[in-house]
Amino acid sequence: MKVLLAEHAGYCFGVKRAVELAIKTAQDNDNKVYTLGPLIHNNSAVDMLKEKNVFSVDDINNVEGDNIIIRSHGVGKEIYDHCSEKKINLTDATCPFVKKIQKIAYEMYNKGYNIIIIGDKSHPEVQGINGWCDNKAIIGKNLEEFYLIDFNNSKKYAVVVQTTMPQDTFFAVKEYLISLGLTLEFYNTICFATKERQQAVLDLSKKVDAMLIVGGKHSSNTKKLAEIAKKNCDTFLIETAKDIDLEKIKTYDIIGVGAGASTPDFIINEVMDLINEL
């Protein structure tokens, strides 16, 4: 058996920055600090942060004390306004690439554009972006959803994309919107780290018998990596090494390993070590 690791795997710049910032904030305060929602979508990383005195709350009103950390996915403008009004100290761990999308949405909305977000409306990143245009964005995660939307040719639209969306989804929706004859401004805001990880998994999945995609079950970018790999080989989405079906894996000669942008190195190493032991 041979095991190969994708060229790009694990923490991206934005996630690494958010984790380091949260830990530093807890150390500087010498007390518990809170993130609004899980800092990243990985249970192992969240458990590690708890050991560092970084805890997650879903409601800003449940924060103890006057410090809160904005997670890597970002939040809407109303959260910043609330914290300013209540004199709550903010540590902003929003990924810089997400910040850029928020800025585009805010500025274009105030210029009279209707904002279109290509992304999953249930994802916190998308919800946060929507919060920068008065929660009035038109949102769809694939071409099929955009087919169901009625557009007004008398209005102008600015289009942004969730950072973890596949490139082919963006281009398919872009082509469709252009065909409608709308007044459009496009911003391809897919993160380069997402592109790298997706391309690396695509390339590796063509060379192996099976792929293990390591990451949180609620991680959007991890699930998309699994979807890409499935097109070329048997694919298993796992959170940790404990989730590996060893008897099944033993039936393959070449195993590939890929990991989402919110997957810690120690989890990837545990998976690689276990497969190598086989």
Residue 33 has pLDDT above 90, yes or no: no
Provide mean pLDDT across the span 206-215.
97
| 220 assigned ligand-binding residue | yes
**Of the ranges 104-108, 110-114, 204-208, 220-224, which one carries the lowest mean pLDDT score?**
220-224
Mean pLDDT of the region 57-71 = 80
Task: Write out the CATH class of domain 2-10+192-277.
Answer: alpha beta
> Hey, CA dihedral for 269, 44, 26, 92, is it positive or negative?
positive
CATH of 97-186, one of 3.90.1530.10, 3.40.50.300, 3.40.1010.20, 3.30.1340.30: 3.40.1010.20
- Sequence spans of domains, the chain: 2-10+192-277, 13-95, 97-186
**What's the rounded Cα separation, in Å, for the pair 60 and 246?**
42
| Contact (CB, 8 A) for 135 and 76 | yes
Say if residue 218 carries a ligand binding annotation: no
Residues designated catalytic: 125
Query: Would you place residue 166 in the very low, low, confident or very high pLDDT band (cuts 50, 70, 90)?
Result: confident
What pLDDT sits at residue 86? 83
- Tell me which of 3.40.50.2300, 1.25.40.340, 3.40.50.11270, 2.60.120.200 is the CATH number of domain 13-95: 3.40.50.11270
Q: Check for a shared fold between 2-10+192-277 and 97-186.
A: yes
Distant-in-sequence, close-in-space partners of 189: CB < 8 Å, separation ≥ 6: 97, 100, 101, 104, 160, 161, 162, 163
d(CA 66, CA 86): 9
pLDDT at 87 exceeding the cut of 70: yes
Is the pLDDT at 245 greater than 80? The verdict is yes
Q: Is 233 annotated as a binding residue?
A: no
Mean pLDDT along residues 107-136: 97
3-state DSSP assignment of residue 230: helix
The whole-model pTM stands at 0.84
| pLDDT score recorded for residue 64 | 65
72 is in an annotated binding site: no
Can you read off the two tokens belonging to residue 196?
């790298």
Predicted local confidence at residue 28, as pLDDT:
87
